[in-house]
Amino acid sequence: MVSLLVLLRQDTNRSPMPLTDTAVRNAKPQVKPYKLSDGGGLHLLIQANGAKLWRVAYRFNGKQKTLALGGYPAVTLQKARKQRDDARQLLVDGLDPSVQKRQEKIAARLGGDATFKSLALEYLSNQRHALSPYYADQLQRRLERDIFPSLGRRPIAEIDALELLDALRKVEKRGALEQAKRLRQTCGQIFRYAVITRRAKHDPTSGLKGALKPNGRQKHHRTMPREELPAFLRALDSYDGDPRTAIALRLVVLTFVRTTELRAARWEEFEGLDGREPLWRIPAERMKARFEHLVPLSPQAVATLKELAALPGSDANGFLFPSPSREGCMSNNTMLYALYRLGWHGRATVHGFRGVASTILNEMGFNPDWIERQLAHDERDEVRGAYNAAQYLPGRRAMLQRWAEWLNEIKTSGKVAQISREAA
């Protein structure tokens, strides 16, 4: 360890005696810069222009280095000695004083407003390039609702595990156990970012593992039993709520896209609605896997879209389902509540229609790759994912056409006959 630490020594051309305030004050410039030593590596460098600069000479990992402490008289002899002693302690701890000083400067520059809210917003801003706009906004909304009111103005370095647990308990009391768990994870990411940027000393969320209530067995998206599909489709045609909501549900069933992909859809994403190959081009930033997704549209889906466009208040340049909400489009639960209103509370979810379609189309004998591509399941390989955006498009168009026809058949007959394999 001795080789790693400094051997702070006096140069042979410096005074062997410690400096005094008088000596420092009376030191005069010469033609060339010179040094006055105080011992332990601390010396005063007198420049030819009269500037007096405190320096500490030391060795770290076998290399000779110099630490600048500031200029006299702003830094007095007493202050310079204190900084020298602090540097020596860092060396004993195996740390390079110059590196530590540079990190402290960065932390001071970054830490002007080191509250939890300021760090959270800074962290989210840095992460937006890797997140979909919807998900990034969702994280911020959750923090604004459940964390910022109690902890937002607190210095992040002073927040302890009990304070954070108190905020998360309030979320648990609403029954939102999974959301409380996710908030703890998000807060942990923020605290670790604060530690890395030297605005906090530790991550208090590490002490909360096991403290939150378990959310039990994972509940998968409940799929509507196939024998109930005819009754559901008929009920949807006579839905007495907002017609836009009924149309949204119909489009989910016809295209089996995710709820978030449909509710934030914009008219500009639709192409060729009056042509032979109408298409919905969902941009990458709105997709879970962050790849553009192409949805071929059946005639039934096109007719539904035109029905929507004819409703009062439709904006050909905006959202399909506009709303005065902060997001500007239909809320996340609108379709789910409509499903409840239609009588399927606890028996089905909107997302579950994806499972219904997948199961039945597989039974019909359609190519599983077509089905997976239509479901836009995550494609981990970026090159392959970009290529697959349009892959199987003709086959998927035919598949969705048959799906729309089958839905109309069971709605008309009122029952689901045994499914036969009809596709190669």
User: Catalytic residue at 81?
Assistant: no
The answer to whether 147 and 167 have CB atoms below 8 angstroms apart is yes
Reduce the secondary structure of the chain to three states and give it as a string.
CHHHCCCCCCCCCCCCCCCCHHHHHHCCCCCCCEEEEEECCEEEEECCCCCEEEEEEEEECCEEEEEEEEEECCCCHHHHHHHHHHHHHHHHCCCCHHHHHHHHHHHHHHHHHCEHHHHHHHHHHHHHHHCCHHHHHHHHHHHHHHCHHHHCCCEHHHCCHHHHHHHHHHHHHCCCHHHHHHHHHHHHHHHHHHHHCCCCCCCHHHHHCCCCCCCCCCCCCCCCCHHHHHHHHHHHHCCCCCHHHHHHHHHHHHHCCCHHHHHCCEHHHEECCCCCCCEEEECHHHCCCCCCEEEECCHHHHHHHHHHHCCCCCCCCCECCECCCCCCECCCCHHHHHHHHHHHCCCCCCCHHHHHHHHHHHHHCCCHHHHHHHCCCCCCCHHHHHHHCCCCHHHHHHHHHHHHHHHHHHHHHCCCCCCCCCCC
Is 345 tagged catalytic?
no
Catalytic residue flag (residue 286)? no
What does the alpha-carbon distance between residue 319 and residue 278 come to, in Å, rounded to a whole number?
A: 18
User: Which residue among the candidates 52, 258, 263, 396 is catalytic per the annotation?
Assistant: 258
- Residues 354, 373, 396, 397: which is the catalytic one? 354
Q: Active site includes 220?
A: no
Any catalytic annotation for residue 402?
Answer: no
Catalytic entry in 174, 234, 377, 415? 377
Point out the catalytic residue in the list 102, 213, 345, 387. 387
Active site residue 340: no
Among candidate residues 288, 290, 341, 402, the one labeled active-site is 288
Single-letter code of the amino acid located at 42: L
* Catalytic residue annotation: 258, 288, 351, 354, 377, 387
